[in-house]
Structure 1
Amino acid sequence: MGVNVQSPMVSVCVITYNQESYIQQCLESILGQKTDFDVEIVIGEDCSSDKTATRIEKLAETNESINLLVNNTNLGVLPNFIRTLGACKGKYIAFCEGDDYWIDENKLQKQVDFLDEHPKYGGVSTNNRWFFENENTYKNSILNEGEISFETLSESNQINSQTILFKKELIKELDWMKTLKIGDWPLHLLVTSQQPYYRLPEITTVYRVHSGGVHSLLKEEIKLRNRLEVLIAVLEHVELTNERKELLNESIRNTLKKLISHRPGDINSIRQKYYDFGGTFLNTTLLKSYIK
């Protein structure tokens, strides 16, 4: 569906599932970008049960830049994400999930210009605005401008992923991510293990928090378990220096300590995993300083 743009500079990766109410705003915000280069929009439509695909097909009829990938069965978030990334042909890749949208028509141009002028960086992000749909309120997420290293991201994911643009050449085989529940954070760690990111100060995007959202509404215990899976997978599959391996080991150990407060019944298995990743003395009294 749609005709691929020839040799696009940027591919925008869009993941959709049952987002009929939001997809129009998302795609129009991408189509409205002002650039002096070609942009393709690669949409991984994961067998939605609503009319998301129909809305996309209607837009694709008049926009050759849209490349709609339709799945006959629901692949799931990460397999669909990886499949869509693999279909991107651009030198650079940007993200925008189907329920989010961009508010700066020069977002892509600014980012491409920055990376072309600063080749030491593997990607460039911006600041973001949160939209809390139930309260109909907005909140700006302002983080400091500057370099974002692997070391910083190993502590926590500090990238609003709908703001990122990164070099496609820095992502290779991604099948190791398919079983994870989080896709953006391990991808950011993969890229920054090779070249750092840079954050620009502008607010260019809106992240929508709503009842149909996935990560933003998860319980803390599930977030910790998902975090643990990501850290272990990156440690096993990404080429890292010994210093960076130890940073991930430390993050893994701290995550295991926090998990005990949520599942005290699992203390023996969590304690054993803690020891497996280089932990030493551990008891519940010591844990109090880690549980917040």
Structure 2
Amino acid sequence: MNEKLISVAMCTYNGGKYLKEQLDSIINQTYKNIEIIICDDGSTDNTIEIIKTYSKKYSFIKLFQNETNLGFVKNFEKSISLCEGDYIALADQDDIWKVNKLEAFLCEIGDNLLIYSDAIIMDGEGTISNNELIRPKGNLVKGRCNKAFLFTNCVSGNTLMFKNELIKDILPIPEKITYHDIWIAFVASSLGTITFTQEALTYYRRYAEQITSTREKNYKSFIDRFQTKKASNLKSAKDIIDNLSIFETLEYLDKDIKLIIKESLIHFNDFSNSYFNYKLFKILKKYKDEVFAIKKDKKRLKYIRRISYGLKAHIISLFTI
């Protein structure tokens, strides 16, 4: 097993504050046959200095500096394209990995194209919580489960590793995809199977402003609340259209998922004018255990209704809450 090279694709941008902790956690992995490919997207802090110091000490760390800012999705595309390993694991610049992460992935990936884990949330100061990113509020999924990624995602990019053979199918990462991780998970679970480890193997750094934005709704007035909710719903609809339009182009999808995508696109392309799409509701209800596998059983019907609502129904709901 030690003959297998694992490439760690990392992207950096002004990450000097936490970068050393992350690099140390990767370097100190129990599995040693690794290379670390770092693509920097134009950092102006001490990020480059830190990486160069590490690369002088560790020859398996390779730095590539972008001439122009690519953005994090295209920067990950570049980093993945430079990997030479049998397996590729993605790394953010500010997390911390458990020491056995790569060894566990390699032992458990088996015939699957991709493996991932949950992540343990820590704050900006590195205080580790008892909360995981997905569980227990949601589920992790495995197998040939591409329907689960149509509207939601449980495969965070900083927690996954995939086989090199998947590169040809995921690159280039489509321009309009919302996030690289949902694209990788969808393709992997369409072409083959994915799996996960029961143990959460990444400490995910969540900042105070992220927590505040998800918990507090600081609306100045009802009009402010109305405009904010409307903008949020329209953006969500656009993101769904972008993702599904890209998924729809893949030739190897089965007829069931093609039907779900087709009817969903009809609905969301008319999202601004509609109240409720009963046809889509019936289709989603038929496949609810696959499409909403990431959601807990008791909440699946709620999400089916929410997806089937048009903008007008969402607006009306503001007056009934």
**Partner Cα distance (1:135, 1:112) in 2:** 27
Closer, same or farther: CA 147–89 of 1 in aligned 2, 3 Å = same
**Partner Cα distance (2:126, 2:232) in 1:** 22
Q: For 1:139-154, what aligned pairs fall within 5 Å after superposition?
A: 139-141=131-133, 142=135, 147-148=142-143, 149-154=145-150
Secondary structure, counterpart of 1:57 in structure 2: helix
Closer, same or farther: CA 176–239 of 1 in aligned 2, 3 Å = farther
- Tell me what 2:180 maps to: 183
Q: Quick one: which amino acid aligns to residue 17 of structure 2?
A: S
Higher helix share: 2
- Tell me what 1:32 maps to: 28
2:121 corresponds to 1:130: yes
2:241 corresponds to 1:241: no
Q: Which whole-Å deviations, capped at 9, do the CAs of 1:202-256 have from their partners, x for residues lacking one? A: 021011122787xx97x84445533432222122246322222223345556766
Question: How much has 1:47 moved relative to structure 2?
Answer: 1.0
Question: How much has 1:159 moved relative to structure 2?
Answer: 1.2
Asked if the contact 1:11/1:89 (under 8 Å) is kept, the reply is yes
Closer, same or farther: CA 64–242 of 1 in aligned 2, 3 Å = same
**Partner Cα distance (1:253, 1:289) in 2:** 22
Higher strand share: 1
Secondary structure, counterpart of 1:193 in structure 2: helix
Closer, same or farther: CA 60–251 of 1 in aligned 2, 3 Å = farther
- Count of residue correspondences: 264
Secondary structure, counterpart of 1:232 in structure 2: helix
**Partner Cα distance (1:9, 1:290) in 2:** 53
Q: Quick one: which amino acid aligns to residue 108 of structure 1?
A: L
**Partner Cα distance (1:196, 1:147) in 2:** 7
Secondary structure, counterpart of 1:129 in structure 2: strand
Closer, same or farther: CA 98–283 of 1 in aligned 2, 3 Å = closer
Q: Which whole-Å deviations, capped at 9, do the CAs of 1:137-195 have from their partners, x for residues lacking one? A: 62223365662521222241111222211112023152352343411111111111111
Closer, same or farther: CA 212–255 of 1 in aligned 2, 3 Å = farther
Secondary structure, counterpart of 2:67 in structure 1: coil
Q: Quick one: which amino acid aligns to residue 42 of structure 2?
A: C
What is the alpha-carbon root mean square deviation over aligned residues?
3.6
Query: Larger Rg: 1 or 2?
Result: 2
2:242 corresponds to 1:229: yes
Gaps of 5+ in 2: 215-230, 283-307
Q: Quick one: which amino acid aligns to residue 129 of structure 1?
A: I
- Tell me what 2:168 maps to: 172
Q: For 1:40-51, what aligned pairs fall within 5 Å after superposition?
A: 40-51=35-46
The two structures have a TM-score, normalised by structure 2, of 0.70
Question: How much has 1:110 moved relative to structure 2?
Answer: 1.2
- Tell me what 1:84 maps to: 79
Closer, same or farther: CA 150–283 of 1 in aligned 2, 3 Å = closer
Closer, same or farther: CA 160–185 of 1 in aligned 2, 3 Å = same
Q: Quick one: which amino acid aligns to residue 203 of structure 1?
A: A
Question: How much has 1:28 moved relative to structure 2?
Answer: 0.9
Asked if the contact 2:157/2:180 (under 8 Å) is kept, the reply is no
Closer, same or farther: CA 46–57 of 1 in aligned 2, 3 Å = same
**Partner Cα distance (1:201, 1:255) in 2:** 36
Q: Percent identity?
A: 23
2:104 corresponds to 1:110: yes
**Partner Cα distance (1:135, 1:84) in 2:** 26
Closer, same or farther: CA 188–52 of 1 in aligned 2, 3 Å = same
- Tell me what 1:195 maps to: 192
- Tell me what 1:206 maps to: 203
